[in-house]
Amino acid sequence: MKQSQKRQFWRTEGGDHLTHEERYNLALEISRKIKREIDENLICFSLYGSTSRGADTHWSDLEMLMITREEVPKKTFLDGFVPVTINSITENRLCRILEEPGVEWPFYAGLVKNLVVLEGDASKPGQYYALACRVPEEKFRKALKNNLSELVFESCGRIYSCISRKRYDNIYCAVIETLLEMRTALCLLNCTHVNHDYFEGIRETFKFKRLPKRYPVLATRMWKGEDPFRIVGHSRELLNNYAELLYSERILEKKEV
C-alpha cells in the first residue's frame, strides 16, 4: 500500500485529521513527483501559506508554487479530503511582475519572500525578492494611478447599490472586495506588501505610513459589522478619506472626478 493510502484523513463528522507533519510530507512527496515529471524545466518548487509557516490546522489546504523556464499548467486536486493547489509561473513572467508593479505585485512580492523551497534552487526566492525591493517609488505610483478604476471605487459603489436595491445580504461580499482592494492599493502607495491573507493582511496595512484618515477604525468596523446601514456609513467615510489621500499624494486629480 502506498504511503498516501496509509494516511488518515479528517472527515466531516469525527475521525482522524491530517497533521502538520503529514501535510508537509505530502508536499515533499508531490515536489519529488513534479521534479521527476518536468526535470530541467523546473527552477524551484516551493511551499507557501499556512503549512509553510507551521500555522496549518486540521482543515487547511496545501498550497505550492512551481517556478519554471517554460509554461506548465496549474494543477489542482484532492488528496483524501485535502485540497491541493500547485500554482505555476514562468521565471520570465514572475520577474516582469516584480520589476513592473501592477495589481499583482503585492501578492507576488509577499509570496516570494515567504516561499519554502522543497526542490530546485533554494537561492531563487531571495533573488526574486531582491528584484522586487529595487523597484523605484515612481513605478508604484504610476501602477496605482493606472489601476485606480479597478481598485476600491467600483466595489465600494457596490456597497451603496446593495442598499439602494435593498439586497442587504449582498453587502458583506462587497465589503470584503472593497477592503481587499484597498489593501492592494495601499501596498502600491506605500511601495510594500503584506504577508498574510484576508483580515490579517488588512491589519498589517494599519502600520503603513500613508493611510486614509481613521482607516484602521473604519476598516475594522466594516469587516466586523452586521448592520448594513452602519456599514454603508463607515464605507462612505472611508471612501471620502481614501479619495482625499489620493488627492494629497497627487495620484488622483480633482479634474478627474
Q: Where does the pLDDT of residue 5 fall: very low under 50, low under 70, confident under 90, or very high at 90 and above?
A: very low
> Looking at the whole model, is its pTM more than 0.85?
yes
Tell me how far the alpha carbon of residue 77 is from its chain's centroid. 21
Q: What is the pLDDT of residues 8-39, one digit of tens each?
A: 444 444 444 678 999 999 999 999 999 999 99
Q: What's the one-letter identity of residue 249?
A: E
Domains and CATH numbers, the chain: 3-135 (3.30.460.10), 138-256 (1.20.120.330)
SS (H, E, C) 164-184: HCCCHHHHHHHHHHHHHHHHH
pLDDT at site 81: 84
| Residue 32 · residue 119 · CB < 8 Å | yes
In DSSP terms, which residues pair with 152 in a beta bridge? none
Q: What is the mean pLDDT of residues 88-113?
A: 98
Q: Where does the pLDDT of residue 58 fall: very low under 50, low under 70, confident under 90, or very high at 90 and above?
A: confident
pLDDT at site 59: 87
Q: What is the pLDDT of residues 136-169, one digit of tens each?
A: 999 999 999 999 999 999 999 999 999 999 999 9
Task: Enter the C-alpha cell of residue 184.
Answer: 492592494
pLDDT at site 26: 93
- Asked if the model's pLDDT at residue 121 lies above 90, the reply is yes
Segment holding 30, helix H or strand E:
helix 20-38
In DSSP terms, which residues pair with 42 in a beta bridge? 68
| Residue 175 · residue 225 · CB < 8 Å | yes
DSSP 12: S
- Asked if the model's pLDDT at residue 2 lies above 80, the reply is no
Does residue 79 or residue 234 have the better pLDDT? Answer: 234
Q: Where does the pLDDT of residue 117 fall: very low under 50, low under 70, confident under 90, or very high at 90 and above?
A: very high
Q: What is the mean pLDDT of residues 216-229?
A: 97
Q: Where does the pLDDT of residue 245 fall: very low under 50, low under 70, confident under 90, or very high at 90 and above?
A: very high
DSSP 59: T
Tell me how far the alpha carbon of residue 83 is from its chain's centroid. 18
Query: Would the CA dihedral through 100, 103, 105, 106 be positive or negative?
Result: positive
